[in-house]
Amino acid sequence: MQFEFTRGLTVLMAVAGITACSSAYIPTAGQSHADSAAIRRDIEYLASDRLEGRLAGTPGNDSAAAYLARRYKDLRLSAFTAGYLQPFDARSAEDAHMGRTDPRHTENVVAVLRGQDPVLRDEYVVIGAHFDHLGRSSTFAQDPEAKDAIRNGADDNASGTAAVLELARLLAAKPPRRSVIFVNFSGEELGLLGSQWFVGHSPVPFERVKAMINFDMVGRLRNDKLIVYGTSTATELKALVDSVNAASNPAPLKVTGVGDGYGPSDQTSFYAKDIPVLHFFTDLHEDYHRATDDADKINAAGEARVVDLALGVVRAIADRQTQLSFVKMAAPVQSTSREGSQTYLGSVPDMAASDVAGMRLMGVRPDSPADKGGLKAGDVIVEFGGAPVKDLYSYTDALYTHKPGDTVKVVVLRGTERLELTVTLGKRGG
């Protein structure tokens, strides 16, 4: 999970207290449940030292992709292309800022399960998780003093990857009415690059994608507490999640639903394209982005419970007669890491846009100063308050020279047109 989108632009989420793992989970006889042993095996391989932390563009990342492709082949899922791989060149804003000009050659892993309904099978639910992590890089690490130590990312995000594999197994045994695309993204830690590539190069007409379910850090269930983001991105989702959870066996989880569809993980790339999303998350812990995030700390029995809940949610979405009703919501404003800065615009930067002279917007939060000022997804900010904007870093520097309530001129490129807009900056959290 990429909580640090950029230098000086960190998205923080509530952190629950670190407590003991929940008691062992025993599947009910005669029913199809997630296999905690299988989940643990996948995590132990993906988070092993031999893969060296799966940094995008490294041999360990390629080995992880090959492993995922083999798993989908064993499940007899279909591939859109030969070998299930969706290659792309990862070009991150952070790499460009640090002077790296060569792209990182990497790949998403994509498989499809055809739905059973002769009409609804042409609509798709995407189930995804990123499989890359930090590798030996200290960039974005919370333990830079560990230098080039391997950061295996057992929870972030071998756990989410294992959840997708287990859902693929369970759904393949009894396909739903709609088709399901399983996708493991690379380049998330570099700025949601794999999911942005996927939505821009979808193997199916993108208007046929009706929902996206994301898993990022789901391996540390504590006190039965689960956070589900995106519950307000469709009018039906909150009640749907609550009803499935209430029927959970042996007992419901303590689910906290958060409405926002934007966040520091891959569901953001889909929500920015008007797709209802959910993001399952068992919360932060002291090993996040550290060399201590290892497989022996995973609560596999707890993750199996999360997968079982998600299975019910996916089936409810994929089997319903009508599609979900998308909601473009005004989300709660998150904080930044820059001390003392409360200035808020409401733009969602396109983290993959390292080849753009300016800052391209992936989206704009509804009812934000950016929205009210006329900024739109796809705009490239080239000037802010009289200061030139060459990239995300110069943009944040320009933003933080202002205070809430200031009225500033923002120059954007919208296609071939150069526009000058006026925005009144807001207060973060206000």
Q: For residue 95, give every residue at least 6 positions away whose Cβ sits within 8 Å of its Cβ, in sequence order, or none.
A: 104, 190, 354
Q: Tokens 């969706």 map to which residue?
A: 86
Helices (H), 174-236: 193-200
Q: Dump pLDDT digits (tens) for 174-213.
A: 999 999 999 999 999 999 999 999 999 999 999 999 999 9
In a domain, 328, yes or no: no
Residue whose structure tokens are 């979808």: 202
DSSP-H helix ranges across 137-192: 160-173
Nearest C-alpha neighbor of 105 from the set 172, 50, 153, 55 = 55
219, part of any domain: yes
- CA pair distance 393, 370, nearest whole angstrom: 18
What per-residue confidence (pLDDT) applies to 29? 39
SS3 at position 271: helix
- Reported as a single tens digit per residue, the pLDDT across 223-250 is 999 999 999 999 999 999 999 999 998 8
Least confident of 17-26, 169-178, 217-226, 405-414: 17-26
- Looking at the fold, whether 314 and 383 belong to one and the same domain comes out as no
* Domain annotation covers residue 112: yes
Same domain, 311 and 372: no
One-letter amino acid for residue 181 of the chain: I
Judgement on whether residues 91 and 235 belong to the same structural domain of the protein: yes
My answer on whether 32 and 179 are in the same domain is yes
Mean pLDDT confidence for 320-337: 74
Do 351 and 303 share a domain, yes or no? Answer: no
pLDDT in tens, 80-126: 977 899 999 999 888 887 888 899 999 999 999 999 999 999 999 99
Residue 139 lies in a domain: yes
Q: Domain check: are 364 and 289 in the same one?
A: no
Nearest-angstrom CA–CA distance, 44 and 51: 11
Residue position matching structure tokens 């670190």: 18
Please give the residue that has the higher pLDDT: either 364 or 59: 59
In a domain, 336, yes or no: no
Instruction: Evaluate whether residue 306 is within a structural domain.
Output: yes
Average pLDDT over residues 49-58: 98
Domain of residue 352, residue span: 343-427
Q: What is the pLDDT of residue 100?
A: 85
What are the CA-CA distances from residue 6 to residues 211, 380, 405 (Å)? 27, 17, 25
Residues 251-261 have pLDDT tens digits of 999 999 999 99
pLDDT of residue 391: 83
pLDDT in tens, 261-288: 998 899 999 999 999 999 999 999 999 9
Per-residue model confidence (pLDDT) at position 341: 59
**Pairing state of beta strands 380-384 and 407-414?**
antiparallel
H or E stretch at 302: helix 300-319
Neighbouring CB atoms inside 10 A of 238's CB total 16
pLDDT of residue 354: 65
- The answer to whether the predicted template modeling score (pTM) of the entire model surpasses 0.75 is yes
Last residue of a domain, one of 287, 319, 351: 319
Do both 63 and 143 map to the same domain?
yes
257 plus 390 within the same structural domain: no
Q: Are residues 295 and 355 in the same domain?
A: no
Torsion, Cα of 386, 389, 393, 394 (10° steps): -40
Q: How far apart are CA 72 and CA 168, in angstroms?
A: 8
Question: Average pLDDT of the chain?
Answer: 89
Count structural domains, the chain: 2
74 pLDDT above the threshold of 50: yes
Residue 229 token pair: 């983001």
Residue 421 lies in a domain: yes
Is the residue at 99 inside a domain? Answer: yes
Phi and psi torsions of 410, nearest 5°:
-120, 125
pLDDT at 242: 98
- Residues 408, 399: Cα–Cα separation, whole Å: 10
Do residue 271 and residue 356 come from a single domain? no
Element (DSSP H or E) covering residue 369: helix 369-372
Are 64 and 129 in a shared domain? yes
Domain end (from 276, 304, 319): 319
Percent of the chain whose pLDDT exceeds 90: 77
